[in-house]
Amino acid sequence: MASSRDELTGGPESSRDFLPAAQRELSVDARTAGFEEVVAGFNESQALREAQRCLSCGNCFECDNCFAACPEDSIIKLGKGKGYDVDFETCTGCATCFGVCPCHAIEMIKEPVS
Ligand code: SF4
Ligand code: SF4
């Protein structure tokens, strides 16, 4: 099933390989029955993947990619250290800014249907 990100960008979410690997956890019953580690940790292949995956914190670092890529000039620079604003009067919701942001600092949300 396509994720909302796929729908917005036309690309698979795995192309932005930022999600952590799942770790096996003990069941609640097993947790209360002994002193085993609750979270199993990573196996070798998971540990290698964790060491290589993007750990971007999702904070904008003012690379200007979105500002440069917006076809409608809807992104407004607020000045160094102050980030950006979006002019929603001219923004078409094309998601180009979302697609070029290297750290997932931009979220696209659907407009509420009235
Ligand atoms: S969604 Fe498209 S038009 Fe709107 S700010 Fe982003 S790039 Fe510009
Ligand atoms: S592309 Fe992302 S990181 Fe770069 S300025 Fe825009 S929001 Fe910030």
Output the pTM of the full model.
Answer: 0.58
Substitution candidate for ligand 1 out of 84, 87, 96, 106 with most atoms within 8 A of CB: 96
62 lines ligand 1 (CB under 6 A): no
- Domain 1-13+58-114 in CATH 3.30.70.20? The answer is yes
Please provide the distance, in angstroms rounded to a whole number, between the alpha carbons at the two ends of the chain: 27
Domain extents in the chain: 1-13+58-114, 19-52
Which residues does 9 contact at the CB level (< 8 Å), separation at least 6?
A: 95, 98, 99
Contact 95, 9 (CB under 8 A): yes
Contact 82, 57 (CB under 8 A): no
pLDDT at 57: 73
* Rounded distance between C-alpha atoms, residue 5 and residue 23, angstroms: 24
Residue range 43-57, pLDDT digits in tens:
998 888 888 876 667
Average pLDDT in the 6-15 region? 44
Residue range 26-35, pLDDT digits in tens:
999 999 999 9
> What's the 50 CA to ligand 1 centre distance in angstroms?
32
